Structure 1
């Protein structure tokens, strides 16, 4: 049954039964993390209470279909008005109570159900009336921006999956996300298992997704190359793994070690298949939060792309070692 279905309205029980069932659910339902509650217009709910308390099926206080129009900024986007106040502008009802009211009265056609999740925030459980609303776009097309809402308890991985669906990213593509605030400062969302709340992602921010290039590089950080032109490098096709490493000044031993490690098949396959991502340790206060592993993976994926004569392991050297 859809939230705004009108054809599913059933003959409601008697007014006293309605009142008793809904009041019992409101009284006995407790907030549990992950449960759904629904936002209902306060005026409509008060009129319904007046109707069922009247005991008269023909009362002029009959509320009609559930109508949340007063809660929306407009009836095109159905965007919730800001700073709505509970018990003044709206009431919260548990899912079971909502579905009963929906079956008995239906909703105004086209209006979405205002389902909200109970979230376990520091020191409190609450219904998240206002989820985090962010802008989403691809690094390759930052003009095409969509808006989406996520719970503060959703993981960054949930956002990534939603973006892959929304932008039709090919399955198997390796992606990474950045969050951008209004001051144009970008920060990597490195730990995809972290929650929206813990990642400090807030409403109004932009989440940018980039996908790894075929040559193993990232669009936002294409490395220096050992040719006279980018076009020469892009057209090159060689044997994967047969790739030089540029000496950055006293890095011959580092480069030699990287070449040796690159030619250990199980280890290289581990990084080429991105298996390492599931084992990054973001919690060790003495660790590097996976940065060295990611930098090494970038070098390996470039070397084994078959599209470079030589790559410059600058990020691995300067920032990680």
Structure 2
């Protein structure tokens, strides 16, 4: 909304015309809009001591459109006018799409500071432009079809209300897609650390699991109950790493810009349905296997309400274990290497069975 407000000055003459054209005669509407543009152009020039070329361009285009409207002031032109206005918009979008999108960024930069645009953002912007071009072109075709083949009421609906519906649906779809993509990127991107445990880059999960040995942070949680038993999860058989083996109660990556505790609560909810618990950080260490290198934060907690536990999609089974039962299965490919290391070097020292 703030961006739209900053861009508003360059669009005001056109917006004024669109609003008043619906209830004033064409000559009066265009005269008022042009007068408004001239006054706005002069006032902003005096206040800012800089002539706004974009307002001037907007006003000139309105003058041309107004002149055409006055010259061809008849029923046929009245029906064609929405399609012609939309065609001007399509031509502008086409120029931007097929030449250089910097034209639009230059215009936006006239009213607000534009950060450096990445290649990925440019590609995404061009995709949105192409979508708008297709939508507007199809809508123009529908208007023309309605002029010669449908009733006046249908023409009025297609040339006006339908456009708002199309744009509304498109905007809502964009918001939903952006929200999904944002959540996906937040979850999938993990920070890459140097030997001093400082963040130096980001990567996706596939990149840190392909043998690159890029150091990245993860969380492990061990859940105990009042009887002193330890909850372990059996990993899904569909897991690429250590499928079907017993592992920590909860385990997962820390996403980029995410705190270890936040990652812990997110993973606990996703994997075992655990929401209410108080975690305690007891250790951290670097774990290196054939395919990855992790900075592991080990947490423990005790829960009273076991009814909140439920299987997540990536978990085959949950089970409470005694210390003796775990000892009896060590070294038999029953547990993940991480679990055996943490049990022998960390949990065994604090677990009072």
When normalised by structure 1's length, the TM-score is: 0.30
Q: Name the structure, 1 or 2, with higher relative contact order (CA <8 Å, separation 6+).
A: 1
Tell which structure's C-alpha radius of gyration is larger. 2
When normalised by structure 2's length, the TM-score is: 0.28
